[in-house]
Amino acid sequence: MPDPTGTAGPEQPLTRGGARAWAVAVAARRGVDASEVSEVVVDGYADDPAGGYAFRFGRLLLVAGRDGSHAVRVDPGDEPGRRDVVLRAWERSARDPVPVPPRHLGAHQRAALAALRLGVRRVAAVPVQQRPGVGLVELPGAEWILMMLRQFHPLGAPTVLQAAAHLEEAEALRRVPAPDPPIHPCPVCRGVAPWSRAHPRTVCRDCARTTRCDHGRLVEGRVDAGATLVATHQDDGSTCEDTTAGGAVSVAAWPAVLTATRSGGVVVQASPRPVNAADDLAMLAAARDLTELLTEVTGLAAPPLPAWTAGPFDDGDAEEHLWRLAEHLVDEVADAWSADHRTADPDAVRRAVAHLLDPSLA
């Protein structure tokens, strides 16, 4: 996902000169002379700790904040419109201030904070220029940090300031994470979800909150003193006998099951999506879904589907064909990325790509 500004943004701490130098650099990339770059003045913006500077040239308006944010927008064409764009950026910075730059934090932590700042659900969606030090090999660790930062918050949506404060308290999250953390794409929404070999289809916390029983009521599971799974309705705390007996639930209208863990907790696992191997169109749709997932978890373009994905599939084993396709896609993406980054360890790159797509592949 390219940086729309074409640069890594202005230097921090931000100054008027630094913001202008950034604007001039963006203009130069577009073949515009520096003399055409002019400042957009909004009363108080340049002097406020949550403010910054704005410049324009041609049809573009550039806004750089002291919180480290920077953006290129289409110039509204008049002063009231420009002022409105700057005011919105100013209000956002005041509402969600960022400790800039968090130099004492590692690259993984800074990348996770960048994802929160941009409002994206994955670090892979953060432009590479805004997550320095986090390439493909480091991406799984940064995604794990992001998941853990969201889990501490009651609503799963901490501000950057709240997340940074949590990092100060959680020493384990300030360390360099393992290259193969216990995460995987949520089977329902593709967000970052916890993973284990015992529970490979665990949904993310956001999806788990939508768990409903056969009666359409929100339910949650717990393990009683006898190590038995019990499901209760969230509205009145009553026991859902049907769910308690079999564990069957639904998540976002998709079949799922409540499962007790060895540690005494409960996870929600989505049921596998059945694919009819005798239906070539269904298999092709599943293959395309796999390439879309690969793009989402890595931030890179997926390679073309090989010809054999068009079928026919005489043996009727859809799972085996899709597994073989996943391995092929991982190898293709890892090889292409390693070719462009000669200093990278190809084996480490492949493991990272495989882990992001499905830890069982790594």
The answer to whether the pTM exceeds 0.75 is: no
Peptide bond into 80 cis (omega under 30): no
149-182 tens-digit pLDDT = 999 988 888 888 788 889 988 999 999 999 999 9
Q: Could you tell me which residue, 268 or 49, shows the higher pLDDT?
A: 268
Four-residue CA torsion sign, 33, 129, 192, 351? positive
Q: Is 228 exposed, middle or buried (0-12, 13-18, 19+ CB in 10 A)?
A: exposed
Domain boundaries, the chain: 16-95, 107-185, 202-270, 280-361
219-262 tens-digit pLDDT = 999 888 777 888 899 889 898 888 888 888 999 888 999 988 88
Query: What pLDDT sits at residue 252?
Result: 85
Q: What average pLDDT is seen over the chain?
A: 88
Both ends of the chain: CA-CA distance in Å? 24
Question: Edge-to-edge strands of the sheet including 254-260?
Answer: 248-251, 254-260, 266-270
**Position 99 pLDDT exceeds 60:** no
CA distance 167 to 260: 30
Query: What pLDDT sits at residue 253?
Result: 83
Low-confidence winner among 2-11, 38-47, 228-237, 318-327 (lowest mean pLDDT): 2-11
**Position 101 pLDDT exceeds 80:** no
- Would you place residue 314 in the very low, low, confident or very high pLDDT band (cuts 50, 70, 90)? low
- Would you place residue 4 in the very low, low, confident or very high pLDDT band (cuts 50, 70, 90)? very low
- Would you place residue 8 in the very low, low, confident or very high pLDDT band (cuts 50, 70, 90)? low
Q: Could you tell me which residue, 318 or 95, shows the higher pLDDT?
A: 318
Contacts of residue 138, defined as CB under 8 A and 6 or more positions apart, other chains included, come to 107, 108, 111, 179, 352
Give, in order, the Cα–Cα distances in Å from 86 to each of 55, 58, 73, 129, 247: 10, 17, 10, 23, 52
Query: What pLDDT sits at residue 329?
Result: 95
Q: What percent of the chain has pLDDT over 90?
A: 54
In DSSP terms, which residues pair with 257 in a beta bridge?
248, 269
Query: What pLDDT sits at residue 318?
Result: 84
- Would you place residue 80 in the very low, low, confident or very high pLDDT band (cuts 50, 70, 90)? very high
What's the mean pLDDT in 98-109?
71
**Position 2 pLDDT exceeds 50:** no
What's the mean pLDDT in 177-195?
95
Q: Could you tell me which residue, 148 or 222, shows the higher pLDDT?
A: 148
- Would you place residue 309 in the very low, low, confident or very high pLDDT band (cuts 50, 70, 90)? confident
What's the mean pLDDT in 309-328?
82
Query: What pLDDT sits at residue 97?
Result: 59
Query: What pLDDT sits at residue 100?
Result: 46
Instruction: Using DSSP bridges, classify how beta strands 254-260 and 248-251 pair: parallel, antiparallel or unpaired.
Output: antiparallel
Nearest of 296, 84, 83 to residue 185 by alpha carbon: 296
CA distance 259 to 303: 36
Query: What pLDDT sits at residue 315?
Result: 62
CA distance 113 to 162: 10
How many other CB atoms are found less than 10 A from the CB of residue 328? 16
Q: What percent of the chain has pLDDT over 70?
A: 94
Query: What pLDDT sits at residue 182?
Result: 96
What's the mean pLDDT in 85-100?
77
